[in-house]
Chains A and B, each alone.
Chain A
Amino acid sequence: MLSNRHIMTMDDLSTEDISLILDTAESFKEVNERRIKKLPTLRGRTVINLFLEPSTRTRTSFEIAAKRLSADAINMTGSASATVKGESLRDTAKTLSAMACDLIVVRHKYAGAPQVLAECMDAHVINGGDGKHQHPTQALLDLFTMRAHTGRLEGLKVGIVGDISHSRVAGSLVPALVKVGASPVVIGPPTLMPARPDVLGAEVSHTLDDVLPELDVVYLLRVQMERSEGMPFPSVREYASLYGMNATRLERMKPDAIVMHPGPMNRGVEISSAVADSERTVVLDQVNAGVAVRMAAMYLLLGGADSGAAA
């Protein structure tokens, strides 16, 4: 059992919860390698994937996870802005709750949306990404992947490179790394930094090349090219030259260090094709881990072994 009934932020998870989820995911990963990739564990339980912001990979990953556990998985998509002129998020939540759903996964453009659902529903809530805030299952699958490749989490030095201030991936990954005893360093120009990265527990560097040789993991964030408030760097060319991962930089990494990316990648911007396709880059392992980790999260939230279900 987990210590909280929701996974909305990394604060909801203790260090023991994280270990339990990662260990449980190991057994589900094995299931995912079978020919018949299905368990009866969550039969009769209803999981709604409420995705009010465009997403393909995360939604698909949650959907596959729910279906492999035999839950009835329903996808609802829409745009958060539609809720402004139409139904409020609170009313959507109450409506779904009235349909007796057991677990809801929410992706939303604005921070705090999972909190609204938790207040208005009886269901368990998993945050599938809220605004610029958090995306905890991404952090969990990243920890899973790091552990699989390096054999440990404690003491790892992880450089997170890019738009830290607008990244919910970084918003969850930094506190997750702190919880497991790893050392996160956020790397990028000050225009891409949150006001106080120190309160999350991260070191800050503005120069990738300075810290690159010390890193066990180089975690590249997607550069958002579509921004209304003005670009925070002068050109893609300059960004790539200062913060992009390329073959030259790959050679300066520790010999066993890995490159990670939450996807979708902008080849030629934060990552060159040579790096994206290299053996050091574990992006597809992350995607693969995503299904197992989300299966574990759903399984443990919905009662785990106590529900009469077994992996």
Chain B
Amino acid sequence: MALLLKGGRIVDPQTGLDAVGDIVVRDGRIVEVGQDLEIAKGQVIECAEKIVVPGLVDIHTHLREPGFEYKETIESGTRAAAHGGFTTVCAMPNTSPVTDSGSKVRFIVERAAERGVVRVHPIGSCTAGQKGEALAEIGDMVREGAVAFSDDGRGVQDAGMMRRVMDYAKTFGTTVISHCEDESLAAGGVVNEGVVSTRLGLAGWPAAAEETAVARDIRLCELTGCRLHLAHLSTAGSVALVRDAKERGLPVTAEVTPHHLFLTEDDIDPAYDTNLKMNPPLRTAADREALVAALVDGTVDCIATDHAPHAAHEKELEFELAPYGTTGLETALSLVVTNLVGPGLLDWTGMVRVMAVAPRAALGLPEVRFEPGAVADITVIDPEARVEVTRGWFESASANSAFLGMRLLGKATDVLVEGRFALRGGKVADR
């Protein structure tokens, strides 16, 4: 069936596009991009006043299935992704069981094919059971479709073990994602070590615990030559380390989350809101400014949500007992439009760079370019749509959002995954 996306502002830095025009999609592929296009029969999607971009990708998502289906499932998580404008998510391996073998990767691939609303690429663990003791079956997992490897949530604590992981992963040309936490320094901290830890009597997680791990893994990248991606950077010091690594030409990429871009430790007040408990923690205003600047200048390649759903009964515990994380898939785009595109820090081309092009490049995922023959993974954005972040608004099975109560501008109205609607007129399409 043919599909005509009509009259939208088409933005794709890969093909140099930023103009009002039309896109024709047939059989899951883009067949034509141009002006005043028509189709004999098929569906026309009116895109006037909207922005049409290559499908957004989140390379850091916790889908929780298998094992924690009460927090999220592959179905609910991919519905949330579609709702937020994403055509692709990469699923972190800290499930139960941990995604540490080919058969576990295959489960996710098959379940996503069965129930997923958007594309799901599994990320395998670096070490068996994410225990940091022995290599996971990386080769087997690559064969089954794992796109990268990470002990996210834990980090590989032993430097020698991490070196082995990177040496071995290099065989397959894959990327190792570092969780960037030295546990001996983070020491169970629950907020940034500094003003807020002192005021609220909470254990601090110092910036140095991240920067030590970032510095170590950059050195190991240099030693092994393995591609390294640094997850959820949160400090100005980490940005400086990445800048230096890139200047030296190392194959290093980095991501930042919406919560580290748009919130700071100062948002944590005596109300002890557990939705603001993150790992790594929210940092200082100066860190936040450094992260925004680094995203704008390209030092930090992309935005990744670290979507971390938790059940209400888990987040309603005392701050020190509640689990870390916020959901992020459904708010990321609106936050970026409101806080970066709106004020002119990023133009639409920049938005596409950090949410569609660079994340694919970081993990070597297939490109999505607006040109004939390309796969039709497309996100349509209404930049003027108003969003009020409320519990009832989420498609995710969990509502632990750090952004609850915010009023934002801009959201996805339509999402096409290989030419099929995942989101249509703002509503998630049933499979």
Contacts and interface: CB of A to CB of B under 8 A. Distances in A.
Interface of A: 8-9, 11, 80, 84, 88-90, 108, 110-113, 115-116, 130-134, 168, 171, 194-197, 199-200, 229
B187 A229 contact: yes
B198 A197 contact: yes
B319 interface: yes
Nearest to A228: B188
A294 to B, nearest CB: 21
Interface in B170-215: 187-188, 193-195, 197-204, 206
B18 to A, nearest CB: 46
A3 to B, nearest CB: 16
Among B194, B197, B204, B318, max chain A CB count under 10 A is at: B318
A115 B200 CA distance: 12
B431 interface: no
B270 interface: yes
A200 B319 CA distance: 21
A111 B272 contact: yes
B200 A111 contact: yes
A115 to B, nearest CB: 5
A131 B195 CA distance: 17
A113 B270 CA distance: 10
Contacts of B204: 194-195
Contacts of B272: 111-112, 115-116
A50 to B, nearest CB: 13
A196 B194 contact: yes
Contacts of A195: 193-195, 197-198, 204, 206
B39 interface: no
Interface string B269-281: 0111000000000
Interface string B289-323: 00000000000000000000000010011111100
A111 B201 contact: yes
A108 B318 contact: yes
B196 to A, nearest CB: 9
Contacts of A9: 270
Nearest to B271: A115
A115 B317 contact: no
A89 B315 CA distance: 12
Contacts of A134: 201
Contact of B201 (A116, A132, A197, A229): A132
Nearest to B317: A88
Contacts of B313: 88
A112 B317 CA distance: 10
Contacts of B317: 84, 88-89
A79 B320 CA distance: 15
A199 B198 contact: yes
Contacts of A8: 270
Given A88-B313, A115-B270, A115-B271, A196 B319 contact: no
Nearest to A81: B321
Contacts of A84: 317, 321
Contact of A200 (B193, B199, B271): B199
Nearest to A194: B198
A133 B194 contact: no
A131 to B, nearest CB: 6
Nearest to B190: A111
A200 B187 contact: no
A110 B199 contact: no
A133 B272 CA distance: 12
A113 B204 CA distance: 18
Contact of A112 (B194, B206, B316, B319): B319
Contacts of A112: 200, 270, 272, 318-320
A185 to B, nearest CB: 16
Contacts of B318: 80, 89, 108, 110-113, 116
B198 A200 contact: yes
Contacts of A11: 270
B320 A110 contact: yes
A79 to B, nearest CB: 13
Contacts of A108: 318
Contact of B319 (A111, A171, A194, A199): A111
26 contacts: A84-B317, A84-B321, A88-B316, A88-B317, A110-B320, A110-B321, A111-B200, A111-B272, A111-B318, A111-B320, A115-B272, A116-B318, A131-B320, A132-B202, A133-B200, A133-B201, A168-B201, A194-B198, A194-B204, A195-B193, A195-B195, A195-B198, A196-B197, A197-B198, A200-B199, A229-B187
Nearest to B187: A229
A96 to B, nearest CB: 16
B421 to A, nearest CB: 41
A268 B431 CA distance: 72
A113 B398 CA distance: 23
A171 B204 CA distance: 15
B312 to A, nearest CB: 10
Nearest to A202: B198
A-B pairs with lowest CB-CB distance, top 3: A133-B201, A112-B272, A110-B318
Nearest to A89: B318
A199 B320 contact: no
A116 to B, nearest CB: 7
Contacts of B197: 194-196
Nearest to A108: B318
A134 B318 CA distance: 15
A110 B320 CA distance: 6
B423 to A, nearest CB: 35
Contacts of B270: 8-9, 11, 112, 115
Most chain B beta-carbon contacts within 10 A, residue among A112, A130, A132: A112
B269 to A, nearest CB: 10
Contacts of A200: 198-199
A97 to B, nearest CB: 16
A144 to B, nearest CB: 23
Nearest to B192: A195
A273 B193 CA distance: 37
A131 B201 CA distance: 7
Contacts of A171: 201
Given A90-B316, A111-B200, A229-B187, 15 more contacts: A84-B321, A110-B319, A111-B201, A111-B272, A111-B320, A116-B272, A130-B201, A133-B201, A134-B201, A168-B201, A194-B197, A194-B204, A195-B193, A196-B194, A199-B195
